[in-house]
Amino acid sequence: MGTKIYGISGSRALRSLWAIEETGIEYEHVKTSFAADSKQPDYLAINPNGRIPALVDGDLTLFESMAINLHLTKNHAPSLYPPDAADQARAIQWSVWAISEIEPLQMQIVIQKLFTPEDKRNPAVIESATKALVRPLKVLDQALTGSDYLLGDAFTVADLNVAGVMLIFNMIGFDASEFKQVSRWQTACYERPALARAQAL
C-alpha cells in the first residue's frame, strides 16, 4: 500500500512533513488543506477529526502529528528514535509537553494575529499568552543547559516534535532570544535539510 501523508506545509502538518523527510523513505504527499479538503468524506474516512496531518503507512492509519512522528522515526528512521527505554519515555514526555505547555498558548496568539481582523484583536490575550510562555520556555532552557539536544548530544524525535510545534513562533513573531539555550537549539534544529525540503512542499 505504500506510505501517504496528508497535509500542507503552511500548517501544523509541517511538523510531520519534516519528520517524513527525515526518514528518507519514498512516500506520496497528498496536499490537503485544513479547510474544505479536510472535511471531505474521503479524508474523514482517514481522519474523522477533519484535521491535518494524517498518515497511511501500509495497513496503519494514524492522525495526530506527535503520534505520526513517533511512528515514522521508530519504524523508518531508527537513528532518530532512542534505543533506550528511558529515553523513549522521555521522547514521549517532551512530545506531550510541547502540545500541552507550548501549543495552546501560541495558538492564542495565532488566532489573534493571523485570524482576527486587526480592529477586532484583543491585545490583552496576546500579552497574557506571551507572558505565560515564559514559564515553559524556562523549563526547556534548563533542560537544554549542558546538552546539545533534549536527549543528549544527538538530534532525535524529541527535538523534532518540540521544535516542530515551536515553528509557529516564526509565524507570530515571537521572540525567544532571551532563552539562550533554546535559541541555540532552535537554530540547530531549523538548519536541518529535511525541514527545508518539507517547507518547500
Share of the chain above pLDDT 90, in %: 94
Give the cell for residue 71.
511512528
Residues 38/52, Cβ–Cβ less than 8 Å: yes
Helix residue ranges per DSSP H, the chain: 14-23, 41-44, 65-76, 85-97, 103-114, 123-132, 134-144, 157-166, 168-172, 180-190, 193-199
Sheet holding 54-57, edge to edge: 28-31, 3-7, 54-57, 60-63
Going from N- to C-terminal start, the domains of the chain cover 3-79, 82-198
Q: Which of 32-46, 55-69, 84-98, 139-153 bottoms out in mean pLDDT, i.e. has the lowest?
A: 32-46
The fold adopted by the segment(s) 3-79 is Glutaredoxin (3.40.30)
Residues 11/34, Cβ–Cβ less than 8 Å: yes
Q: Give the predicted TM-score (pTM) of the model.
A: 0.95
Angle at 18 between CA 165 and CA 56, to 5 degrees: 105
- pLDDT, mean of residues 14-41: 95
Residue whose C-alpha is closest to residue 76's, from 22, 113, 123, 16? 22
- pLDDT, mean of residues 187-192: 98
Mean of the per-residue pLDDT values of the chain:
96
pLDDT digits (tens, 9 = 90+) for 92-136: 999 999 999 999 999 999 999 988 998 999 999 999 999 999 999
CATH class of 82-198: mainly alpha
β-pair partners for 193:
none
